Amino acid sequence: MSPQKKTPWKWLADEHIDAAFRLIRERLWLFPKTYRKKVALADTVYILTDYAKRDADHFQCGWAEVDEVYYPLNIGANHWVLVQIDLPAHMLTVYDSDQALYDDARVEQAMRPMMKMLPYFLLNVEGVTDCADLDLTTTMKPRDFDVRRLPLNVVPQTAKSGDCSVFVVKHLECLLADIPLSNVFDDVMQHSRQILCIDLFYQNIEP
């Protein structure tokens, strides 16, 4: 068996994205001096109850230990974006490599379940840092998370279809290592696919 080169512009399947996120999660766990941000990662299903608790066997910090959570989101069954949950700021930030595909209203519609569900979920997570937004002493329900999609001048845009899932993985890697997102663009996608394929096949953990 040998690693295969991914075809250009072909989607990564959910399991490929999940495998990439797990590999990055392991790097975060094993190399804390390289990755200093306090973050957690979920997968394409983002079953919150499985990810909010600390799980050393799966290299997962508990949400009470982190400021940010990242997960991949599929919109319209044909497009992947990266979402950052900023717990202290009570904010959901969308990193979208193809903003011509869906307008802000459609993206907000896709985010709405998380905007409304997440505050209720966090009420049951001890030690989460945005307690003021979850305070029920003065209101009947917690405040929805705010949502924003970063503008075109912040997130480089693709001019072709099929690489959005690779953009998600590369955006995550850059954000965790404080590398500018300007390094992620169409011309590096094929090379990025090859590196990702090799890393997953050989389980290259070192960053």
Most confident of 42-46, 122-126, 136-140, 161-165: 161-165
Predicted local distance difference test score (pLDDT) of residue 129? 53
Arch. (CATH architecture) of 14-201 = 3-Layer(aba) Sandwich (3.40)
DSSP secondary structure letter of residue 137 = S
Question: Residue 4: what pLDDT?
Answer: 46
pLDDT digits (tens, 9 = 90+) for 29-50: 889 888 878 898 988 876 565 6
Q: What is the pLDDT of residue 51?
A: 63
Asked if 39 and 68 count as a contact pair (C-beta separation under 8 A), the reply is: yes
**Contacts by residues 27-36 (CB-CB < 8 Å, ≥ 24 positions apart):** 27/205, 27/206, 27/207, 28/59, 28/61, 28/176, 29/56, 29/59, 29/60, 29/61, 30/59, 30/205, 31/206, 31/207, 34/177, 34/207, 35/176, 35/177, 35/207
- 145-186 tens-digit pLDDT: 999 999 999 999 999 888 999 999 999 999 999 999 999 999
pLDDT recorded at residue 65: 85
Name which residue leads in pLDDT, 29 or 111.
111
Task: Give residue 60's pLDDT.
Answer: 74
Residue 158's pLDDT is 95
Q: Give the pLDDT of residue 75.
A: 96
Summarised one tens digit per residue, pLDDT across range 47-85 is 565 667 666 656 677 788 889 999 999 999 999 999 999
Q: What average pLDDT is seen over the chain?
A: 86
